[in-house]
Amino acid sequence: MSSTPNPQTRPRSVALARLVRAVQQQILRGTLEYEQFGQVPDKPHMQNYWFSTPGEPDTPQEVFDHLHWGGQFVYVCTDQVQAQQVAANFHDQGGFVMERSVQRIVTRVAGLWLPGFSKKGYFFIARKLLLVLPGQMTDRFTYHVQLVRNPQADYGYVVYKEVPTLDNVAWRLREKHPDIPEETIVKRARKLVENVFPIFLTRETAILNILQRDLPKSYRHRVPKVIGYEKDDRGFVRRLYLNWLRLGGETMSQIEFAKQTADLLRVLHNDGGVIHLDLRLDNFVISNGEVSFVDFGSAVRDGEDLSQSPMLTSLFEEMMRTSQIQRLLGKWANSGRITNKVIREKFQHVDKAIDFFYMAVQMNRPHHNPEFQDLVHCDKTSLEAEQISALTASILRPKDPDNPAFQSAADILEGIHQIEKFLVSQEDQAA
């Protein structure tokens, strides 16, 4: 995360504060998005709306890491030329798109414009469309992913996921492997762009459609829904459009985060018949008080015979060797941090145990995803956190490693329910 200072670096003048309130009340208030996501917690880590005035951070580089994906930057000042100059930095560049170009705003008194009392100013609104600043590289995202406008969609946007270009993949490979010859770089990049990425994007499309068919109706909105897709002449999906699971909402407790995660994984496994295989916190979303899973590019159907396709066999064998989750599982198994036989035996295998192993780890550290710091209350010294940590220890290092009590997401969910009951009893005793 960037160490950029908080939005307001000095007290605003009374006039500017009134103009900011005018934008909130006249432009934003009453819209579905602002009503659901416009609340700002005390000392926010990240925001859905960032209001800035002269003297405060006002460039894409300064605000990017402090805005959630799809968040809006609102600049307010008293000078039209200044507003246009700042807006030029956000106009379809820096990972942003202009939501509203520079417009005039006038403060009101009792809903009326009053000469001598009302103040005139200017504002614009820009929306963060990309997950990563242009020119930056990250291991978190493989495909090109951004928000694109769709007037029929909630909040007016959908997620666009596309196989990256050959040049982009080659650049990433050069950055990661500067010692590899250029000829090898290009060859690897072409294989990824022409075969690997299209195969996984095609599989993700199919699996998401399966989940919309097979998950209980009350859970379907907690995984992405396919809006549309575009195929190449070989029948592979190269562009995928999904509904936007908007990050934000009220803060939840750590036990609620753990319970919802385990419950969704239980349904994913038992009703959807799908194994995610990449349940890093980057692939969690908290939207309107509910935990959701995204990025099913590595997922498989339960019981799927990958050996029928030599290409899939090779791809998943490579993934089992290189994935962050598998590497951690192997390291912890070797060091004795995992003794649960059900989990240990699935090292470098495609199995449900991979999902509930990493879920057990993630429910202890929700703030490892910086976007959750304002959405999940987590105090490591609390009784709640201690109980969840003890549950994770019981999952990974059970009393009977050969016959562990926790062998599925459903088992873990029951353990979380027991913690909930215990916490309620402690509160009752304290009262």
Cα–Cα distance between 247 and 249 in angstroms, integer?
A: 7
- As a whole number, mean pLDDT of residues 146-158 equals 92
Say yes or no to pLDDT of 346 above 80.
Answer: yes
Question: Over 60: is that where the pLDDT of 116 sits?
Answer: no
Q: Model confidence over 357-384: pLDDT tens digits?
A: 999 999 999 999 989 998 999 999 999 9
* Number of neighbouring beta carbons within 10 Å of residue 169: 22
- In order of their start, the domains of the chain are 14-128 (no CATH), 137-244 (no CATH), 250-431 (1.10.510.10)
pLDDT (0 to 100) of residue 88: 95
- Number of residues in the chain: 431
Using a pLDDT cut of 70, give the percent of the chain over it: 93
154 vs 407, more confident:
407
Q: What is the pLDDT of residue 221?
A: 96
Please determine, for residue 5, whether its predicted confidence score (pLDDT) is greater than 50.
no
Q: What does the CA dihedral 396, 402, 403, 409 come to, rounded to 10 degrees?
A: 40
Q: Residue 109: is its pLDDT beyond 80?
A: no
Q: What's the pLDDT score for residue 2?
A: 40
For 221-244, write each residue's pLDDT tens digit: 999 999 999 999 999 999 999 999
Is residue 402 predicted with pLDDT exceeding 90?
yes
pLDDT of residue 113: 58
